[in-house]
Amino acid sequence: MRGPHNIIRLVRTGATLERTGAMGVIMDAMDAPPLVRGTLRFLAWPFQWLGLRGDPSMPPATRALTALGPAYIKFGQILSTRPDLVGEELATQMRVLQDKLPPFDTALAKASVEHELGRPVEALFDEFSAPVAAASIAQVHKARMRDTGEAVAVKVLRPGIERAFRVDIDAFYFAANMIELLSPSSRRLRPTDVIAHFEGVVMGELDLRLEASSASEFAANTADDAGFQLPAVQWHLSARRVMTMGWADGVPLGDNAAIDAAGHDRVALGNRVLQLFLSHALRDGYFHADMHQGNLKVAPNGDIIAYDFGIMGHIDEYTRRVYAEILYGFIKRDYRRVAEVHFEAGYVPADRDVDEFARALRAVGEPIFGMDASSISMGSLLSYLFEVTERFGMETRTELILLQRTMVVVEGVARSLNPQINIWQVARPVVEDYIRQSLGPRALAQSLGRTAMVLSRFGPRLPQLVESVLIRASAPRPEPPRRDRRDLALWGIGGAVFGAALVAAGVTLF
């Protein structure tokens, strides 16, 4: 599936961008260098007749990405949250990609519901509306449950969506392999691993049972978060291609005029959406990884409502602590510490100079402080940060891709609500609270306590485990060590480990 035939798909991508006029629009919006602009258009122009025509009623960029399919629409959704990168006009045009794409026929949706749930729509719902929102993967219908009368949102996957994504992902794999083959310097970015990560995320999004499970876990984690609410999952009306949740009444977070008319404070909302994301990522290690405006509303009481849980991010506790220390170092302007954390975590090769890396990080961070967001060229900062990572041989960290991508999206949402927001000032209380909870003496005691609990479960087996290790280590020797000495060593090691567990437990208890 990933052979040279994918060249046709990639050529068609460039041809579609050129034929619809999107190539020039995107290059202009992102202020692409003349060499890049000229090269891409030179390669695409002869093949534009192969390009997809799209819907002529749509603006060029939206028209091209919609015609190319769901994977490209996902890319456009990210750009729609970054007016600072692509300009306000293009970002506004692309916002329709979040939930205003052309829907598929309601009859097909009803047939899918009946097939998945085993009963006709009329037996389950008193009402079942035409599509109220349509995105790249699924569309949503408003319905009313027959047994309770409760208003719900019924999400139904698009017909044939699995195959459509498979075609795009295969082409992306081919492109990544070609990049690694033709440009050895790009291998540090691990493009194939990045596509594999993207594939895993997308495949999970195509099973709505997993999304329902994610929503349930996320709700449990955030039950006590002030100013935040989630619709409840209706498990008996959910399956692989259909998911039913409570209906979320509110104003779309992307409609500033409606937010103002409803009397909500956009500055407070911008701060809250950023702080909620950081709190979920750092505190829980489990966060909504698709937090664009199309998946967020403002309730009448001012709460932020999140929905669409197809993409959720998870980071382990160690990575959370590293990420928090990096953020905290930037907030405190302690670039030496930020550099040291990168080296300690293995993000930068050990043979590089830590002081030089710290100076490079200072050049990234210093322009942010003392300036409002509208005065910062995020494009320039990202460009320079990319140069820094290349110069110091940093590889792409696939475990952080979703975190980094979501941070970009959430920052874009916050900026759309309050263009003057300073992300570092808003992030500071959340990061400082996490540092206090997770990196201080109390956190150390808790970690030792958890270690003691794990060791206590293995305590009775320690001699056997250690003996197995020593036997394997000594197997090549012609004469094994004497039994009495080995027993003494085994019990000595076991006693030392068990003693450490007791000390750890003592630290926790007292």
| Tens of pLDDT, residues 387-414 | 677 678 776 665 666 777 788 788 888 9
The per-residue pLDDT for range 264-286, each reduced to its tens digit, is 999 999 999 999 999 999 899 99
CA-to-CA separations, 55 to 37, 63, 294, 307, 425, in angstroms, rounded: 25, 6, 22, 29, 43
Distance CA 467, CA 454 (A): 19
What is the torsion angle, in degrees rounded to the nearest 10, for the CA atoms of residue 288, residue 291, residue 295 and residue 299? 90
Note the Cα 415 to chain centre separation in Å. Answer: 18
Q: In the structure encoding, which two tokens stand for residue 290, read together?
A: 């698709």
Other Cβ atoms less than 10 A from the Cβ of 242: the count is 22
Nearest partner of 319 among 401, 440, 258, judged by Cα: 401
Kindly indicate the confidence band of residue 475, based on its pLDDT and cuts at 50, 70 and 90: low
* C-alpha to C-alpha distance for 447 and 441, rounded to whole angstroms: 10
Give residue 41's identity as a one-letter amino acid code: R
Distance CA 10, CA 503 (A): 61
What digits encode the pLDDT tens for the residues 126-165? 999 999 988 888 999 999 999 999 999 999 999 988 888 8
The pLDDT score that the predictor gives to residue 5 is 65
How many CB atoms are located within 10 Å of the residue 46 CB? 11
The pLDDT assigned to 493 comes to 35
Among the listed residues 84, 99, 290, 308, the single catalytic one is 290
The mean pLDDT value of the chain amounts to 79
Q: Is the pLDDT of residue 7 over 50?
A: yes
In the residue annotation, 290 being an active-site residue is answered as yes
Kindly state the percentage of the chain with pLDDT values over 90: 29
Q: Using an 8 Å Cβ cutoff, are 326 and 340 in contact?
A: no
Q: Residue 141 pairs with which residues in a beta bridge?
A: 131, 154
Angle of the 354-365 helix axis to the 378-391 helix axis, nearest 10: 170
Q: Kindly report, residue by residue over 211-261, the tens digit of the pLDDT.
A: 999 999 999 999 999 999 999 999 999 999 999 999 999 999 989 999 999
Q: In this structure, which amino acid lies at residue 88?
A: E
Alpha carbon of residue 297 to chain centroid: 19
Angle at 181 between CA 178 and CA 187, to 5 degrees: 100
What does residue 90 show for φ and ψ, rounded to 5 degrees?
A: -70, -40
CA atoms within 13 A on the CB side of 364: 25
With a pLDDT cut of 70, the percent of the chain lying above it is 76
Tokens 């202009």 label which residue?
A: 28
User: 34-44 and 6-19 helices cross at what angle (nearest 10)?
Assistant: 110
- Per-residue confidence (pLDDT) for residue 173, from 0 to 100: 84
DSSP string, 159-206: TTHHHHHHHHHHHHHHHHHHHHHH-GGGGGG-HHHHHHHHHHHHHHHT
pLDDT band at 507 (very low <50, low <70, confident <90, very high): very low
pLDDT band at 457 (very low <50, low <70, confident <90, very high): low
In the three-class reduction of DSSP (H, G, I as helix; E, B as strand; rest coil), residue 156 is classed as strand
Residue range 299-326: average pLDDT?
88
The answer on pLDDT for 485 being more than 70 is no
Find how far residue 333's CA is from the centre of its chain. 26
- Residue 505, pLDDT > 50, answer no
DSSP label at 289? S
Contacts of 409 (CB under 8 A, 6+ apart): 78, 81, 290, 291, 292
Cα–Cα separations (whole angstroms), residue 251 to 33, 112, 143, 231, 280: 39, 29, 19, 15, 23
Find out whether 303 and 322 touch, Cβ atoms under 8 Å: no
- DSSP 3-state assignment of 79? helix
